[in-house]
Structure 1
Amino acid sequence: MKNALLGMALFIGAFGVANAQQAAAQQGNPMTEWNWGDNKPKAQEKNALYNDSYKMGQHREAANALHWLLVNTPNLNPAIYINGVEIYDELANSAQDKAKKVVYQDSVLTLFDLRQKHFGGEADIAERKAYYAYKYYINDKTRLPMVYESLKRTADLNKENMSYANAVAFMVAMQRYKTANPKALTDDQALDYYDMIVQSLDKAQEQYPDQAENITKYKASVDDLLVKTVNVDCKFVEQNFGPRMKQNPNDVDAAKKVFKLLRAGNCSDSPLYMASLKTIYNNEKTFEMARYLYERSAKEGNSADANRYMADAISMAKTPADKGKLILEQAVSAANRGAKSEARSLAYKAIESDPSSASRAYSLIGNLYFSSNECYQQQDIVQDRAIFLAAYDMYQKAGDSNGMAKAKAQFPSKAELFDQNKQAGEPIRVGCWIGESTTLRTRD
């Protein structure tokens, strides 16, 4: 129940934004040509009457005068339909009588049909009509087919350019319509429209960056609705789409469909999941996808692919922070497989790419030095403990107090320096792969 309420809240939010955008669009200058008909004085009188009432918020009076214009001068000017929608929508919102409310709501939808009939512009008008159809009747089972057809019409006409509010609404209506009429819409048709809806939302995120976070939530809700709309089962997807992928592994559209289905069905462990993602990536490389493929390949132990995807991700990184983080991940990976010298080089490269990564990078180098037991010669205890002095230096650069304390606890003692005829403050060279110079210090 909580998820359902959240979903509806998101959709309502989408429609609020879209409604504001529509209102702004309608402020444009309608056609300047006015077709007054055979009785111009009467038409001008009615036009003045409805406009005066409209401006004063007297919507019932405005509707009375507007009705005469709609009947007698239907091709007067688009303004009578643009303003008429607002007038009848206000009447519908304020109507207490349910029957009257429905009459006003149907009048709004009829105004869109009449405007399109007399002035064209079907793609734009379909967008606006679909918005109101959903607003009025999405919860009316008897009108659901009309709502679905209205949204389907704008999807067919505008495709990925439909408003993101209508895109979300279409997914809601499609899920409900298909549930009520399973044979009226095939899974393939629903998937095609789903693809279009996602493309619309992707495009909207680019056009409206201030709404990006909300649109991300709408996408999640759309994905949830997909699972309720089509029969998403891992085995079903593999059996029905697997052969298609094998026959044409470079079919990007098919790969996208398979990927979205498997993702919606939580089938990320399916071999088909990675196969489809790689097909998409080979044709449409993105930073996010390269990074994800790197993580999956590294997890599966495929180092060759992991290195390739990591190199791609680094080359596509949009910010120094992204680049530095990726290189540091490479450093950690090298450290985990025991390639300490390589890990250190990568850590320094991360610092060079993104100075803000210095703390993590120096801590990593400190850890590399601290764990370098292979550098013990077991002939000079002070020399052997010099790796901890070098580690301390790195931890200090990182501002890593825990690492500094850990390294200092392993420093040579004053007695050990005395036994080797050495003094604190003297320089000492740390050999082995570390190759650093540092200063002798004691733990006591």
Structure 2
Amino acid sequence: MKTRITLLIAALLMVTNFGFAQQDEECMLNLTLMNDYVKSKKYDEAYEPWMKVRNKCPKFNIAIYKYGEKILDHKIDNSAGEEKLAFIEDYNTLLDAANVNYESKYSKGEIEEQKALLKYENQKALGLTDMQIFESFDNVFKNYKSDFTSTKGLYVYFTKTVDLFKAEKFEIQKVFDKYDDVNDQLEDLNDQYSKSLNKLIEKETAGTALTKNEGKYKKYYGQKLEANDKISGSLDAYIGELANCENLIPLYKKDFEMNKSNGAWLKRAVSKMYNKECTDDPLYIELVKAYDQADPSADTKYFVSTVLRKEGKTAEADRYLKESYDMQTDPIKKARMAKKTANDFKRRGSYGSARTYYREALKLNPSDGTPHLYIATMYAKSANNCGDNAFNKRAVFWYAAQEARKAGQVDPRLKGTAAKTAASYEGNAPTKAEIFSENMAGKTINIGCWIGGSVKVPQL
């Protein structure tokens, strides 16, 4: 299947070592032919030798299934009618056989996830309803949650929920519940990918070169994080105006009494109210208090701090904020909380405090470069207040550009964004003509104000 990622496919296809004491020559020949054709993307030519080795020696090599997916993907894409349906049915048969013969590589949950994706990708040809597609993914989520890792699958799972709500098949609460389910799953997956990626980054930072295999995994984790980040934004766009205060407040008011001791429900309600900026409503305060009483945690202390701040109790709010941060022990979750705390300070114009927390986030999760971009933004916004003359004030933009570029250096996902942001800041810095007229080429400017640090003026 196109969406399937196989990191070690080449290693799995070493035709000189099939793991059998006595190898069938015919099966070896057909596997070799299949391998050569697939590598050349000649999937039609690969079909016949693949079928021969698959039927005669189903346990001969895992490549029968890895490459079989590619071959059947091609056949499905290039067929129609009954022929297409036959290839789809055969794909399901192949997946079941993979689970039987290579269970360690093809778990039941992964098989069910792939089958759900196959149904979605061929929904029209199979004549399936949106409810049937939803139920396929719902089966995976409820019974094989740890195997539900497909970014595309999670997106489809949620969007079908919204579509079914619009078709009056689901209540709006179902949409919000599924939104939270999918976001929680994405967050858990990102935690796993980030921790694995950080170990590789730490190894590189220590001066030890990654092995070829580790290099592949580093790229893989980065790609998964990037895909999941994009999907998170897409979920917000798809839910659109449904998740607004006008819908959320009456819904949570209606269900509050029966859920005021339910920590999981309260967490989702408070988070949604906070993220959708419904915090001015008295219900938000009630929800936060109930959440902190039902299930006190780092999260609840954070939300209590937001209530105290709205009441003008800044010192008390800051104490709760620090308590919240100190209570969190998991490095990725702590990094996420550091960013959230930094964002709060940034919104209030407390740039020095914001930078402190952004830098904490960078230490805790070095594979996430977004704090560098946020710090660069604060530098750029402060340019007019940092410097004793016009030239020195605009020199701050060089400093901001340097910070922005760091984002792309530590986080491959941000290379393009970091480069564009840095270029934009450099466009606001002094021109070559101004550098010449001020005789500043190569000189160092101490920035001062809350920023501190210094920047070297470019040579002409």
TM-score bucket of the superposed structures, by smaller chain: 0.5 to 0.7
Going from structure 1 to structure 2, the CA distance change for 1:88 and 1:164 (only over 3 Å counts) comes to: closer
Secondary structure class of the residue paired with 1:163 = coil
Deviations 1:213-260 (A, max 9, x none): 6634422432454578899833542343210233x1xx3212123235
Aligned match of 1:198: 183
- Of the candidates 211, 219, 226, which is equivalent to residue 232 of structure 2? 219
Aligned match of 1:252: 263
Going from structure 1 to structure 2, the CA distance change for 1:325 and 1:188 (only over 3 Å counts) comes to: closer
AA partner of residue 80 (structure 1): I
Going from structure 1 to structure 2, the CA distance change for 1:268 and 1:298 (only over 3 Å counts) comes to: closer
Q: Bigger shift: 103-112 or 273-282?
A: 273-282
- For 1:312 and 1:27, locate their aligned partners in 2 and report how far apart those are by CA, in whole Å: 50
Aligned match of 1:241: 255
Going from structure 1 to structure 2, the CA distance change for 1:243 and 1:304 (only over 3 Å counts) comes to: farther
Secondary structure class of the residue paired with 1:283 = coil
Q: Bigger shift: 271-280 or 25-34?
A: 25-34
Secondary structure class of the residue paired with 1:233 = helix
Aligned match of 1:407: none
Aligned match of 1:390: none
Deviations 1:366-425 (A, max 9, x none): xxxxxxxxxxxxxxxxxxxxxxxxxxxxxxx975679xxxxxxxxxxxxxxxxxxxxxxx
Aligned match of 1:176: 163
Q: Is the Cα–Cα contact under 8 Å of residues 76 and 84 in structure 2 kept in the other structure?
A: yes
Deviations 1:91-142 (A, max 9, x none): 334x265664554444334321332244432123333444444344389763
Aligned match of 1:110: 93
Q: Is the Cα–Cα contact under 8 Å of residues 155 and 235 in structure 2 kept in the other structure?
A: yes
Going from structure 1 to structure 2, the CA distance change for 1:76 and 1:149 (only over 3 Å counts) comes to: farther
Secondary structure class of the residue paired with 2:6 = helix
Unaligned ranges ≥5, structure 1: 1-14, 333-345, 361-396, 403-444
Going from structure 1 to structure 2, the CA distance change for 1:399 and 1:51 (only over 3 Å counts) comes to: closer
Deviations 1:36-57 (A, max 9, x none): 99xx565455444433433443
- Of the candidates 62, 87, 96, which is equivalent to residue 46 of structure 2? 62
- For 2:157 and 2:174, locate their aligned partners in 1 and report how far apart those are by CA, in whole Å: 13
AA partner of residue 35 (structure 2): N
- For 1:150 and 1:223, locate their aligned partners in 2 and report how far apart those are by CA, in whole Å: 23
Going from structure 1 to structure 2, the CA distance change for 1:91 and 1:299 (only over 3 Å counts) comes to: same
Show the 5 A alignment for 1:272-351.
272-277=283-288, 283-285=296-298, 293-302=304-313, 305-312=316-323
Aligned-pair CA distance for 1:83: 1.3
Q: Bigger shift: 208-217 or 227-236?
A: 227-236
Aligned-pair CA distance for 1:268: 3.6
Going from structure 1 to structure 2, the CA distance change for 1:207 and 1:28 (only over 3 Å counts) comes to: farther
AA partner of residue 161 (structure 2): M
Going from structure 1 to structure 2, the CA distance change for 1:188 and 1:324 (only over 3 Å counts) comes to: closer
Aligned match of 1:23: 6
Secondary structure class of the residue paired with 2:269 = helix
Q: Percent identity?
A: 18
- For 1:59 and 1:255, locate their aligned partners in 2 and report how far apart those are by CA, in whole Å: 52
Aligned match of 2:451: none
- For 2:75 and 2:189, locate their aligned partners in 1 and report how far apart those are by CA, in whole Å: 32
Aligned-pair CA distance for 1:89: 1.2
Going from structure 1 to structure 2, the CA distance change for 1:74 and 1:279 (only over 3 Å counts) comes to: farther
Aligned-pair CA distance for 1:197: 1.4
- Of the candidates 114, 123, 127, which is equivalent to residue 137 of structure 1? 123
- For 2:119 and 2:237, locate their aligned partners in 1 and report how far apart those are by CA, in whole Å: 23
- For 2:226 and 2:39, locate their aligned partners in 1 and report how far apart those are by CA, in whole Å: 37
Secondary structure class of the residue paired with 1:64 = helix
Going from structure 1 to structure 2, the CA distance change for 1:104 and 1:320 (only over 3 Å counts) comes to: closer
Unaligned ranges ≥5, structure 2: 195-221, 328-333, 361-374, 379-384, 391-460
AA partner of residue 113 (structure 1): D
Going from structure 1 to structure 2, the CA distance change for 1:204 and 1:272 (only over 3 Å counts) comes to: same
- For 1:312 and 1:230, locate their aligned partners in 2 and report how far apart those are by CA, in whole Å: 30
Aligned-pair CA distance for 1:65: 2.7
Q: Which structure: larger Rg?
A: 1
- Of the candidates 45, 67, 90, which is equivalent to residue 74 of structure 2? 90
Aligned-pair CA distance for 1:85: 0.4
Q: What TM-score results when the alignment is normalised by the length of structure 2?
A: 0.52
- For 1:152 and 1:280, locate their aligned partners in 2 and report how far apart those are by CA, in whole Å: 28
1:159 matches 2:173: no
- For 2:61 and 2:137, locate their aligned partners in 1 and report how far apart those are by CA, in whole Å: 26
Deviations 1:255-290 (A, max 9, x none): 12323554687644333334434555663315xx86
How many residue pairs end up in the alignment? 319
Aligned-pair CA distance for 1:202: 0.9
Deviations 1:141-169 (A, max 9, x none): 63545533432233234425521503223
Aligned match of 2:207: none
Q: Is the Cα–Cα contact under 8 Å of residues 126 and 154 in structure 1 kept in the other structure?
A: yes
- For 1:313 and 1:75, locate their aligned partners in 2 and report how far apart those are by CA, in whole Å: 53
Q: Is the Cα–Cα contact under 8 Å of residues 148 and 174 in structure 1 kept in the other structure?
A: yes
Q: Is the Cα–Cα contact under 8 Å of residues 65 and 94 in structure 2 kept in the other structure?
A: yes
Q: Bigger shift: 81-90 or 212-221?
A: 212-221
Q: What TM-score results when the alignment is normalised by the length of structure 1?
A: 0.54
AA partner of residue 182 (structure 2): I
Aligned match of 1:270: 281
Going from structure 1 to structure 2, the CA distance change for 1:114 and 1:188 (only over 3 Å counts) comes to: farther
Going from structure 1 to structure 2, the CA distance change for 1:118 and 1:219 (only over 3 Å counts) comes to: same
- For 1:179 and 1:314, locate their aligned partners in 2 and report how far apart those are by CA, in whole Å: 40
Q: Is the Cα–Cα contact under 8 Å of residues 270 and 284 in structure 2 kept in the other structure?
A: yes
Q: Is the Cα–Cα contact under 8 Å of residues 31 and 53 in structure 2 kept in the other structure?
A: yes
- For 2:134 and 2:339, locate their aligned partners in 1 and report how far apart those are by CA, in whole Å: 45
